[in-house]
Amino acid sequence: MKFAFLPILLLSTVLHAADTLTLPGLKQDIEFAKAGDVSLTLDAFVPEGAGPFATCILVHGGGFTKGDKHSFIKPLFEPLSKAGFTWFTINYRLAPQHQWPACVEDVNSAIKWVKAHAAEYKVDVNRIALIGESAGGYLVSAAGVTAKDETRVAAVVPFYAPHDLVMQVKMRGELGNLAGLIGMTELNEAAWAKLAMISPINQMRPGLPPFFQIHGDKDEKVPISQSVNFEAKMKAAGNPCETLVIPGGGHGMGGWEKLGSDYQVKLIEWLKKTLK
């Protein structure tokens, strides 16, 4: 199978541009849902060939309050393209203008849209993976553990995700950007209850798709214990879960290149094995 790709150096330069991507096969700014007066858009990459292809839906981070479909998650565009995946990178509504569950609803809307447009984008609806980083990692995990039939996926890959928001707030000693997410400013009983209720680690059940977590062991924003605890809960419920630890890795995959990490290779290997 052959793909039309830019030379590696040019492609790397393009993928690090702030807003503009010129990746062959990429369609940009496609509306996948309308939430009130907010138009939610995605970019779609479709490989050459007949398909259908294993597919990834990418969800950016940004602390629930910033970022877009080209932010933070961008280091995954090139390896997924080279590996022959159809992939989509999505926008979602941000806090504090839009409180939980708006962001999770938007991820679910994207899943349903991708399935509904499978033929157009050469998507194999039985081989869809969710991939998210940081706040996006939380979102893909939240969508994965609460999925209904129409939003069920075959795999979930959270990068350094805060699965336990109670633990996250206790570590920081304040609500921080989670205040906008839950619409509360005081750490009172109601706030603690809300944080616990919407934490993926507390929504565990049997029959979940396989998870592949990726987390740096020097992450000071979301400690690796978040992934360790989540894996233990997943396995206790009878669900497959693996965690790839990045030695020396901080918060954000963009900084891992200097470490010589092969996380992209490991991710592709796991996706191909799991979505075969």
pLDDT band, residue 25 (cuts 50/70/90): confident
Q: Is 1 within a domain?
A: no
Residue 2 lies in a domain: no
Name the phi and psi angles at 233, rounded to 5: -65, -40
pLDDT of 102 > 60? The answer is yes
- Contact partners, residue 39, CB within 8 Å, separation at least 6: 31
Q: Would you say 199 and 163 are in contact if contact means Cβ atoms under 8 Å apart? A: yes
Q: What pLDDT digit, counting tens, does each position of 33-42 carry? A: 999 999 999 9
The rounded radius of gyration (Å) of the Cα atoms in the chain is: 18
pLDDT tens by residue, 193-209: 999 999 999 999 999 99
Residue 245 included in any domain:
yes
Give me the pLDDT at residue 22, please: 64
Q: Residues with Cβ < 8 Å from 139, sequence gap 6 or more?
A: 59, 92, 103, 104, 107, 132
Residue 42 near residue 89, CB atoms below 8 Å:
yes
The span from the CA of 23 to the CA of 275, in Å, is: 24
Instruction: Determine how β-strand 155-159 pairs with β-strand 211-216.
Output: parallel
* Sign for the pseudo-dihedral over CA of 121, 159, 150, 37: negative
Average pLDDT (207-229) is 98
Output the pLDDT for position 24: 79
**Torsion angle of C-alpha atoms 132, 135, 141, 142, degrees rounded to 10:** -140
- The answer on pLDDT for 229 being more than 60 is yes
Range of the structural domain that residue 49 is part of? 8-274
CATH number at residue 248: 3.40.50.1820
Number of domains in the chain: 1
Share of the chain above pLDDT 90, in %: 90
pLDDT of residue 23: 79
Phi-psi domain of 134 (left: phi exceeds 0; alpha: psi -120 through 50; beta: other): left
